[in-house]
Every structure is written in structure tokens, then in C-alpha cells.
């Protein structure tokens, strides 16, 4: 493989160019003529399918069922909850004409589905026997307002799941909000091998129309934080304008309590950015469609024997979805670089000398460590290496995250912020946060779930009494 075919930018010198090259050269996405709208190619869409499989199994244990709601939302529904619509108005794409006919009412292309789903819920819920109602949908959404698109991390159209659940009591709803947050944590750890910051959004940054928002946040190698998912307690903000009521056991009509929660294909971008290196894509084994590539080392006098064993290995290792590259027109070195570029977790090399020893050479994509294994031990060896690789990727990312957190009581550190994450004592006042954002260019990320005990600490910015530790940083 020539240098031009491989990654030419360095991750820690020019992150933006490096990330773009990984996306393109690992054959993950394609651009379209619409800015901010990309094609998800099979190599990366297969990862999203694994996320869907994992998440569906988990939410169905909680009694959540999948459904689908329309893409088009009438304007009268979108505007029913004032705080919600105000928060989304700049991002909404509108349909005003169908064919040659101008529509009598504008239709929003789904930026999120609370309003259209809750219109249905108002018809479905009548009694306490109808509760809890737990529905999730997998769909696309469109959010138009931003300047610079970044594949997966920031696009106008993206894929996600959005759960919308309804409960008789606040206590039931709040229990689920936290439960879903920890489910997202599990998903990102066990599939993406990505550690997260779990916390509560400030009033300034919470979801429009929520009582409060819990979030999972990821720290990327360029020093920016990407919100990876949210779980919102909506309270009765939507049940009242949408008239979602039920007759309780005491024969009294009551408004329901609601949650909404979602994670998106942004997680794919987070995974790519955190793990990949200057040789290309690194995929955690848990999400890799093909966990192994078998590369026979071919010479004229031993070609048939080597190919025979390689094909036998294909059958023996089928649970790892292996691929074999027996193209004799390309040199082994070119193949090694190619499969590193596209992120196959393990490479197995087998040649005539290996046959003499009844062994193969295994190479890990992440560390490029070479490990010899006998043919007899190979399936168990592969299983063990893949588990270790998944664990190592997570622990390396966790170490990088922890090393990037700066605890400070000096406001100048925020004014002269580097590509780090800042944990500070803060007053949580909206006006103070707005001024901090204006003066430093940093946004609040979230309020960690685990807090220290506060006594007489002062807010980093205004000097008034601090009430919580808060993460601040640069965001997508």
C-alpha cells in the first residue's frame, strides 16, 4: 500500500484531517450533495446493527416495546409545548409544499418525536391499567442549524433510538431515568469500549421541556466533548398540554409523568475517534463484523498445502466471522496495511514455516503485538485475545479520560483553557453560567452524579456559594 492510500495525517497533529481520512479510507461513509448528510456504508452500519441488537435485548427486559411514528409532524403539534418548540425552532426543517400544491399547514421533519408520539398517547391512555406505557423507536431525525458537519459526530440527519415512557407516579419515572442512563453506560463500555462521564445537565443546558436531563458525555482526543446520550425526566411538561391523563385507582383523574431518552450514531464517531490510530481504524472486537482476517503466505512450492489449511481454519473459526485474503497478486505487506486500515481486530498469518510447526502467527490490530499459537489451541487463543483487546481498549481510553480532567479553583485556567476537561466548584446560577460561557468559550458538560460534600466552597467565577462540582469544556 502506498502512503497516499493509507492515512497521511497524524491524529495528534491534525485531528480533523486525520478523522476525515479514517472515515473515507476505511470505507465507512460517503458524502452526498446535501451538506451534513452522509451515507452509512455497510462496514459501519453493521456496527449500528450490533448496537440495535444489544439495546433491544436490554430494553425488552424492562418491558419496552418497539414501534414507529411518522416522520412528519404538523406545526400545531410541535408548538403545543412552548419551551420545547423554542429550543428546537432553529433546527427544524419544514415541508411547505407537496408536489405542486402548497400545504395548508407546515410539516416539520422530525427533529425529535415527543410531540407526535404524545398526541397518540393522549388517545391511548385512559386508566391506570394502561400504565406504565413503554415504547421505543429506531429512526432518523433531522436537525438543520449548524455550520460545520463532521461525519457521525455532527450531521444534519442521523440515526438514533428514542424511548418514550409514561408512568403514573414521579417516583417510577425517576427510577427509570437513572436506570436508562446506566444502560447507556453499559452499552458504551461493552460494545464501544468507551468510558463516559455520567451526570445531570445544568438548567441552561437541559433538554427543552424537561424537568431535568441526565447525560452521558465522552472526551475525544482533540479535547472536545461529545454528548453521547441523554435520559430526560419530563415530569408533566408534556402531559398537561397534550392532555395525557388517566383515572387512578382512587377514581381521580391525574396527569401522567413522562420520560424520553436516546442515543445516536454519534456513538460511532466517538468510538472511531477514541480508538483509531495513524494506521487507520481500530474497532473493538465486540462490534467488529469480521473479527479475523486470515492471510496465507503463498509460495509456488507450498501454495496448495497452505491454502488447504487456511480454508480449514475458515470453517473452524466461523464463529468469529473470518475473512480470507488469498489474492496472490498482492504482497503480504500490502495486505497487512490494508486490514490495519479497515480495522480488522486480529490478523492470522500462515505460511509454509508455520505449517511445519503446526502453528500460526496472530497480530493484534490495537497494539500490533504478535502472538504465536498452535493450530490446536487457536480457537481458545483467539477468544482470549479478543476479550483482552476489548478490555485493554476500554482501560486505555479510561486512563486518557482521567488524565485529561483538571480540577481547578483558578478562573484563569478556564479563560486560557487547553484541550482538557475542567472540574470546578460552581454556583449553578444561569446568569453566571452564561457569563462564564461568554468569557471563556467553554460550556458546562454535566454535573457529576457523584459529588463531594460541600461546606463553604466558593463558585469559581462569581465567588458566591458553590453548590456543585461541574465539568466544563469545549463541545461538538
- From first to last of its 476 residues, what are the pLDDT tens digits of the chain? 444 579 999 999 999 999 999 999 999 999 999 999 999 999 999 999 999 999 999 999 999 999 999 999 999 998 887 676 676 778 899 999 999 999 999 999 999 999 999 999 999 999 999 999 999 999 999 998 777 889 999 999 999 999 999 999 999 999 999 999 999 999 999 999 999 999 999 999 999 889 999 999 999 999 999 999 999 999 999 999 999 999 999 999 999 999 999 999 999 999 999 999 999 999 999 999 999 999 999 998 899 999 999 999 999 999 999 999 999 899 999 999 999 999 999 999 999 999 999 999 999 999 999 999 999 999 999 999 999 999 999 999 999 999 999 999 999 999 999 999 999 999 999 999 999 999 999 999 999 999 999 889 999 999 999 999 999 999 98
CB of 299 closer than 8 Å to CB of 356: no
Say how many domains are in the chain. Answer: 3
CA distances to 174, 237, 240, 272, 281 from 45, rounded to whole Å, are 33, 35, 39, 13, 15
Q: Are residues 255 and 174 in the same domain?
A: yes
- Give the CATH number of the domain where residue 323 resides: 3.40.50.800
The predicted pLDDT at position 4 comes to: 56
432 found inside a domain: yes
CA distances to 178, 263, 423 from 182, rounded to whole Å, are 6, 12, 21
Structural domain including 23 reads: 15-275
286 found inside a domain: no
- The rounded distance, in Å, linking the Cα atoms of 153 and 258 is 28
Q: Are residues 123 and 155 in the same domain?
A: yes
DSSP-derived letter for residue 390 is H
- The rounded distance, in Å, linking the Cα atoms of 244 and 448 is 33
What DSSP letter does each residue of 292-346 carry, written as one string?
Answer: EEEEE---TTTHHHHHHHHHHHHHHTGGG--EE---TTS-HHHHHHHHHHTT-SE
- Give the CATH number of the domain where residue 162 resides: 3.30.930.10
Nearest to 281 by CA among 4, 1, 20: 20
- The rounded distance, in Å, linking the Cα atoms of 255 and 240 is 7
Cis peptide before 132 (omega within 30 of 0): yes
> Which residues lie below 8 Å from residue 315, measured CB to CB, with a gap of 6+?
none
Please tell me the pTM assigned to this model: 0.95
394 found inside a domain: no
The predicted pLDDT at position 5 comes to: 77
Q: Are residues 354 and 268 in the same domain?
A: no
- Give the CATH number of the domain where residue 431 resides: 3.30.110.30
Q: Are residues 307 and 443 in the same domain?
A: no
421: left (phi over 0), alpha (psi -120 to 50) or beta: beta
| Vertex 47 angle, CA 8 and 192, to 5° | 80
Q: Are residues 215 and 97 in the same domain?
A: yes
Q: Are residues 120 and 217 in the same domain?
A: yes
E strand map for 337-467: 346-350, 359-364, 370-374, 405-407, 421-426, 443-444, 447-448
Q: Are residues 196 and 48 in the same domain?
A: yes
The predicted pLDDT at position 316 comes to: 96
- The rounded distance, in Å, linking the Cα atoms of 279 and 381 is 25
Q: Are residues 416 and 326 in the same domain?
A: no
CB of 162 closer than 8 Å to CB of 136: yes
The CB-side HSE value for 241 (13 A sphere, CA atoms) comes to 19
CB of 196 closer than 8 Å to CB of 228: yes
The predicted pLDDT at position 169 comes to: 98
Q: Are residues 353 and 223 in the same domain?
A: no
418 found inside a domain: yes
280 found inside a domain: no
Strand partners, 350: 296
CB of 368 closer than 8 Å to CB of 361: no
Distance of CA 40 to the CA centre of its chain: 15
Q: Are residues 337 and 258 in the same domain?
A: no
189 found inside a domain: yes
- The rounded distance, in Å, linking the Cα atoms of 169 and 301 is 76
CA distances to 225, 294, 446 from 416, rounded to whole Å, are 17, 50, 20
The predicted pLDDT at position 3 comes to: 46
Burial class (CB in 10 A: 0-12, 13-18, 19+), 268: buried
Amino acid at each position: 500500500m502506498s502512503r497516499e492510500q493509507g492515512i497521511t495525517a497524524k491524529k495528534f497533529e491534525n485531528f480533523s484531517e486525520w478523522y476525515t481520512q479514517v472515515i473515507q479510507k476505511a470505507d465507512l461513509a460517503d458524502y452526498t450533495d446535501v451538506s451534513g448528510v452522509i451515507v452509512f456504508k455497510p462496514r459501519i452500519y453493521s456496527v449500528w446493527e450490533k448496537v440495535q441488537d444489544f439495546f433491544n435485548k436490554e430494553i425488552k427486559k424492562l418491558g419496552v416495546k418497539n414501534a414507529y411514528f411518522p416522520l412528519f409532524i404538523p406545526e400545531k403539534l410541535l408548538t403545543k409545548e412552548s419551551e420545547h418548540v423554542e429550543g428546537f425552532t432553529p433546527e427544524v426543517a419544514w415541508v411547505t409544499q407537496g408536489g405542486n400544491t402548497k400545504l395548508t399547514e407546515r410539516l416539520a421533519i422530525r427533529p425529535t418525536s415527543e410531540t407526535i408520539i404524545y398526541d397518540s398517547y393522549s388517545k391511548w391512555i385512559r386508566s391506570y391499567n394502561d400504565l406504565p406505557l413503554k415504547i421505543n423507536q429506531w429512526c432518523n431525525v433531522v436537525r438543520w442549524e449548524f455550520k460545520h458537519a463532521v461525519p457521525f459526530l455532527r450531521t444534519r440527519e442521523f440515526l438514533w433510538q428514542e424511548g418514550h415512557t409514561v408512568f403514573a407516579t414521579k417516583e417510577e419515572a425517576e427510577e427509570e431515568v437513572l436506570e436508562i442512563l446506566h444502560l447507556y453506560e453499559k452499552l458504551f463500555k461493552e460494545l464501544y469500549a468507551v468510558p463516559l462521564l455520567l451526570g445531570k445537565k445544568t438548567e441552561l443546558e437541559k433538554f427543552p421541556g424537561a424537568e431535568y436531563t441526565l447525560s452521558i458525555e465522552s472526551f475525544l482526543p482533540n479535547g472536545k466533548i461529545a454528548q453521547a446520550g441523554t435520559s430526560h425526566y419530563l415530569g408533566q411538561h408534556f402531559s398537561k398540554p397534550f392532555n395525557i391523563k388517566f383515572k387512578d385507582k382512587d377514581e381521580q383523574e391525574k396527569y401522567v409523568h413522562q420520560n424520553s431518552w436516546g442515543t445516536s450514531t454519534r456513538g460511532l464517531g466517538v468510538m472511531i475517534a477514541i480508538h483509531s490510530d495513524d494506521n487507520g481504524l481500530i474497532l473493538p472486537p465486540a462490534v467488529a463484523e469480521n473479527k479475523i482476517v486470515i492471510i496465507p503466505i503463498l509460495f509456488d512450492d507450498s501454495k496448495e498445502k497452505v491454502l488447504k489449511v487456511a480454508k480449514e481454519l475458515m470453517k473452524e473459526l466461523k464463529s468469529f466471522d473470518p475473512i480470507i485474503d488469498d489474492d496472490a497478486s498482492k504482497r503480504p505487506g500490502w495486505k497487512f496495511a490494508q486490514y490495519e486500515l479497515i480495522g480488522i481486530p486480529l490478523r492470522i498469518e500462515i505460511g509454509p514455516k508455520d505449517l511445519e510447526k503446526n502453528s500460526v502467527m496472530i497480530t493484534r490490530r490495537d497494539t500490533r503485538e504478535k502472538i504465536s499459537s498452535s493450530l490446536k489451541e487457536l480457537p481458545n487463543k483467539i477468544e482470549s485475545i479478543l476479550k483482552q483487546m476489548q478490555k485493554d481498549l476500554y482501560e486505555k481510553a479510561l486512563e486518557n479520560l482521567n488524565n485529561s480532567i483538571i480540577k481547578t479553583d483558578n478562573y484563569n485556567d478556564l479563560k486560557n483553557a487547553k484541550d482538557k476537561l475542567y472540574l470546578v466548584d460552581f454556583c449553578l446560577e444561569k446568569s453566571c453560567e452564561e457569563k462564564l460561557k461568554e468569557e471563556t468559550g467553554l460550556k458546562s458538560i454535566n454535573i457529576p452524579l457523584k459529588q463531594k460534600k460541600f461546606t463553604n466552597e466558593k463558585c469559581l467565577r462569581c465567588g458566591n456559594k458553590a453548590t456543585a462540582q461541574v465539568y466544563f469544556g469545549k463541545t461538538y
